[in-house]
Structure 1
Amino acid sequence: MQSSNRAPQDSGQQEASSNVSGHGYVAEGFEPVAHAFQASIMSGEALGAACTIMHRGKTVVDLHGGWRDSARTEAWGADDIALVYSLTKGLTGMASAVAVSQGLFSYDERVSDIWPEFGAHGKEAVTVGEALSEQAGLAAIDLKLTLKNIGDEEAICAAIAGQKPNWKPGDYAGNHAYTLGWIASELIHRRDPQGRRLPQFFAEEVAGPLGQDVFIGLPESFDRDRIAKIEGFGMQDLFIRHTTMPWALTFKMCLPGTLAFRTLNNPLVLEGPQALDNEDYWRIGQGAAGGMASARGLATLYNAFAEGGEKLGVTPEVMAILTKGHRHPHKGLKDKVLTADMYYSHCFEKPFSAWEFARTRSAFGSFAVGGSLAFCDPEDGVAYAWITNQLGTAKWDDAREKLVRDAFYTCLENRS
């Protein structure tokens, strides 16, 4: 791996940086993060990856390495992007926070007051906050999805609205692997004076103002040579390469009729998440699992929230809601789909006793299938993004990513 001469962009003056044995820069005192990052690449456990970390508005880590293709012929570039799967939920959470701040709707408002059809089959009392915190019981959609109809938001939202919930709303939360994006998009569409759906709203109100290569729906104009292609896993790999994914989930994902199967295999049907890494899907703008982003872009967007949200017009009241988190489901944090505890809140995930991914509970972000993680911690002033194109099989705390994050926090503690 060779050093890059390209300096990262940040929202303030770049701290004194030193070249590292790899691609990118680290600020003085953060050299161990570069060593941890390089270890993941050199071990072969990550085909390619990128990591950008900002602290108090300054970029302290900006690294990339490995390959953006499985043939290992194209090196991962500093500004390359990749399909980031469920990290998209965090982007949708940002757009929703902007929408709430603009007065389009509130988290306490009932979804059915905005979208009357949604109230069918006992869903009339579900609030926006509950729906965006994955408590509405709409994890599995009854409509059969394909890559041909997955872009038909009008038909899909009609199906979601008329569907009986998978559980009593508010009792549990469960991974709304795809439906979360459509729910948020419909809420924005119905209240936005311009009638925009999520992809356009996000581009114009979040990514655009910050000038970042982060997309929910990849534009035709984007250079396809800057896309790192995904190297995925098949269902057999969940058994052969089993790490921290719950065995109950591993089995249920393979059993037709279970909630996990119906949620996670529609539209994939046992093909594995790599099947979504194609031109047709990139363009759709699926708001829960279809985002395309660079690590630099993700960190910059999260930094806007780490600094209080003012750059995007997010109000202090909305920031307080995001940092506090949505109330837990009535019957606890165990995810009805993933069979393990998770804390979902307003399209993000929050730290809790089983997964303290940040130093303070003010943090919020999202973890994705395969190991990628992006979040901010407003109290700590941290914005973090680690993405990879080689999908692992961890529940969370992917070993490759966690090695880098732990090194960063050790360096941060040594500086204080």
Structure 2
Amino acid sequence: MGELQDRIQRRLDTLVDTGAETGLQVAVYEDGALIVDAVAGTAAPGRPLTSGTPIFSFSTAKNVAAMLAHLLVARGFLGYDSPVTDLWPEFGAHGKATATLRHVLTHTVGLPAMPREITPRELPDWSRVCESLAAAEPCWPPGTATGYHSFTFGYLVGELARRATGRSMSELLREWITTPLGIEGQLYFGAPEEAPADFARLEQQASHWPAATADAILAPWESRPSADFGNTGTILRADIPSVGTATAHGLAAMYNAVLQGTLVDAARLTELSALAFEGTDQVFGNPARMALGFPIGRIGAPAEENSAAFGWPGGGGSYAYADPARGVAFALTKTRLVPNFDTALSVTAILADHLSGTR
């Protein structure tokens, strides 16, 4: 590792030293090589953060859930245009019989928010959540509009996975991704009983969170990512595959394996990263360009970059993406939850400067 590692490490150190952040991890692969593995700050008071310390990172875990969906297709368990009801007949209620895996991946199923009867207490109860989703009335006919499916996404993918393979998303993550890639202990949906004791502890920036702009943006029970939620043992140990716990290195290593052809072949990479749906997000109101399972474009990228990158940020400021055009896999995880992506933008700007000088 060289100059880029040093530049990003200095940036992380400055953010922690000035009190803007408390704990940060950044990992970057370029053309298959790990070129940045930087860390700064603490995992909890009196406990240093390391590059191997998992951090609950909210929707950045959707990168992992979406990748498992593609592995289900690659291994012949599902097709992108397979009706959800082929495996999950009950899901066809209230006009949802036309829904397909493609609609799930593009957030066009029409179930952006959890049914009102589901609260954080019910999230670990997989059967109850899936029964509620099957019985729910969609906000729009499947495939006709897109809107961010914050918590529902992981259960939709996960129930299809469970019915197709007989395994949970946590089991598939371990069998298909973390064990083969040698990154055990770095990516979790439901963590083992003893694991959360080694996780970082989240903290909430106290002020400047914007008011909710739509009903149940994240879930019926909250309008912003909550440190208390991400520090709760029952949540950390539950299979909730729209959110999860990860190291930056684990996320970047997964995306590097995608780019290098270890997890999917070149044809599958081209298909999963191509534009699959474009429209106005019905939850947030922003223009949305969706690949199969991921938003297209690097956050903060200038329009002229015409970014081929794809990947999810997470509430509170974490971010992971892959850029096939540049051979780059990037991830940033953090312990302080903030209502913006300023830290991720400042680090990706350093990376973009590096790439402009090497490409």
TM-score, normalised via structure 2 length: 0.92
List gaps (5 residues or longer) in structure 2.
none
Matched, 1:38 2:13: yes
In structure 2, the residue matched to 1:205 is 176
Q: Which moved more, 1:140-149 or 1:156-165?
A: 140-149
Could you list the per-position Cα deviations for residues 70-107 of structure 1 after superposition, in whole angstroms to 9, with x for gaps in the alignment?
A: xx422212211110100111100111111110011111
- Following TM superposition, by how much is the alpha carbon of 1:124 offset from its aligned partner in structure 2, in angstroms? 1.4
Change (3 A) 1:223 1:117: closer
Specify the alignment match of 2:316 in structure 1: 370
Once the two structures are overlaid, the 10-residue window that deviates more, 344-353 or 175-184, is 344-353
Deviation at 1:384, TM superposition (A): 0.3
Name the CA distance, whole Å, in 2 between partners of 1:218 and 1:410.
Answer: 37
SS of residue matched to 2:277: coil
In the aligned structure 2, how far is the partner of 1:112 from the partner of 1:44? 50
Contact 2:112 2:152 in 1 (8 A): yes
* 1:2-52 deviations in Å (ceiling 9; x for gaps): xxxxxxxxxxxxxxx3xxxxxxxxx24553333333332222111110000
* Aligned position for 1:327: 277
Distance change (3 Å), C-alpha of 1:360 and 1:196: farther
Instruction: Output the CA distance in 2 between the equivalents of 1:56 and 1:341.
Output: 31
Equivalent residue in structure 2 for 1:148, among 112, 115, 121: 121
Q: Is the 8 A contact 1:140 1:166 kept in 2?
A: no
| Distance (whole Å) between structure 1 residues aligned to residue 354 and residue 5 of structure 2 | 6
Contact 1:30-1:408 within 8 A present in 2 as well:
no
Offset at residue 351 of structure 1 (A): 1.1
- Secondary structure in structure 1 of the residue aligned to 2:58: coil
Alignment RMSD: 2.3
* Correspondence 1:215 to 2:195: no
- The answer for the alignment partner of 1:264 in structure 2 is 218
Tell me whether 1:303 sits opposite 2:249 in the alignment. no
1:196 is matched with 167
Q: Quick one: which amino acid aligns to residue 230 of structure 1?
A: L
Residues 105 and 292 of structure 2 are in contact (CA less than 8 Å); yes or no, is this contact kept in structure 1? yes
Structure 1 residue 297: Cα displacement? 0.8
1:55 to 21, 26, 30: 30
Deviation for aligned residue 1:353: 9.9
Matched AA of 2:238: I
**Does residue 336 of structure 1 match 2:282?**
yes
Of residues 100, 109, 132 in structure 2, which corresponds to 1:159?
132
Q: Distance in 2 between matches of 1:158 and 1:199?
A: 20
Contact kept? 1:326, 1:346, Cα under 8 Å? yes
Matched, 1:350 2:272: no
Match of residue 43 from structure 2: 68
Q: CA deviation at 1:378?
A: 1.9
Identity %: 26
Greater shift in the superposed pair: 94-103 or 355-364: 355-364
The secondary structure found in structure 1 opposite 2:124 is coil
Instruction: Give yes or no for the alignment of 1:284 onto 2:234.
Output: no
1:237 aligns with 2:180: no
Amino acid at match of 2:177: V
Which runs of 5 or more residues in structure 1 are unaligned?
A: 1-16, 18-26, 240-249, 253-259
- The alpha-carbon distance between structure 1 residues 353 and 374, as it changes in their structure 2 partners (threshold 3 A), is closer
Residue equivalent to 1:133: 106
Do 1:351 and 1:358's aligned partners in 2 also have CA atoms closer than 8 Å? no
1:294 aligns with 2:237: no
Q: TM-score, normalised by structure 1?
A: 0.80
CA distance in 2, matches of 1:170, 1:400: 34
**Structure 1 356/95 Cα, relative in aligned 2: closer, same or farther at 3 Å?**
farther
Distance of 1:98 and 1:335 partners within structure 2:
26
CA–CA distance in structure 2, aligned partners of residues 154 and 162 of structure 1 = 12
Of residues 215, 225, 228, the one that matches 2:200 is 228
Matching residue within 103, 106, 111 for 2:84: 111
Q: Which residue of 2 aligns with 1:174?
A: 147
Larger Rg: 1
Give the aligned partner of residue 257 of structure 1.
none
1:9 match: none
Structure 1 counterpart SS, 2:138? coil
What do residues 132-160 of structure 1 show as CA deviations (whole Å, max 9, x unaligned)? 21111101222422343211111211111
**Number of residue equivalences:** 356
296, 301, 317: which is aligned to 2:267?
317
Amino acid of the structure 2 residue aligned with 1:34: Q
SS in structure 2 at match of 1:261 = coil
